[in-house]
C-alpha cells in the first residue's frame, strides 16, 4: 500500500520501512509539526478561556520539544 506524503505529495510505502509515514521523511514530518505549532500560536487567545482541566497535555513541554527538534533539524 502506498500513500502520498501530505507535505510534498511523494509516494510513501505504508510499511515498517517508512518510519515517518504518512510523511516521506523526517524533514516533511517536522515541517508538518512546525506548521501545526505556528498555527496554534496565531490563533487569538480572545473569546475562549483556556481551561487547565481541558488540557491534560503540557503545552509548554510540547513546544519545548518541538523547538528542540527544529533546532536539531536546522543544524543538519
Residues 11-70 close enough to bind Zn ion by CB under 5 A: 24, 28
In terms of DSSP H, where are the helices of 25-58? 26-42
Instruction: Select from 7, 33, 37, 66 the one that contacts Zn ion (CB under 5 A).
Output: 7
Q: What does the alpha-carbon distance between residue 38 and residue 71 come to, in Å, rounded to a whole number?
A: 15
Considering beta carbons, is residue 7 or 49 the nearer one to Zn ion? 7
Minimum distance of Zn ion from residue 61's CB (angstroms)? 27
Q: What does the alpha-carbon distance between residue 31 and residue 35 come to, in Å, rounded to a whole number?
A: 6
The residue length of the chain stands at 76
Q: Which residues bind Zn ion (CB under 5 A)?
A: 5, 7-8, 10, 24, 28
Amino acid at each position: 500500500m502506498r500513500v502520498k506524503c501530505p507535505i510534498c505529495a511523494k509516494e510513501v510505502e505504508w510499511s515498517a520501512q517508512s518510519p515517518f509515514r504518512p510523511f516521506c521523511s523526517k524533514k516533511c514530518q517536522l515541517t508538518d509539526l512546525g506548521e501545526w505549532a505556528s498555527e496554534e500560536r496565531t490563533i487569538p487567545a480572545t473569546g475562549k478561556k483556556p481551561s487547565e482541566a481541558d488540557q491534560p497535555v503540557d503545552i509548554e513541554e510540547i513546544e519545548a520539544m518541538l523547538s528542540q527538534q527544529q533546532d536539531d533539524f536546522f543544524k543538519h
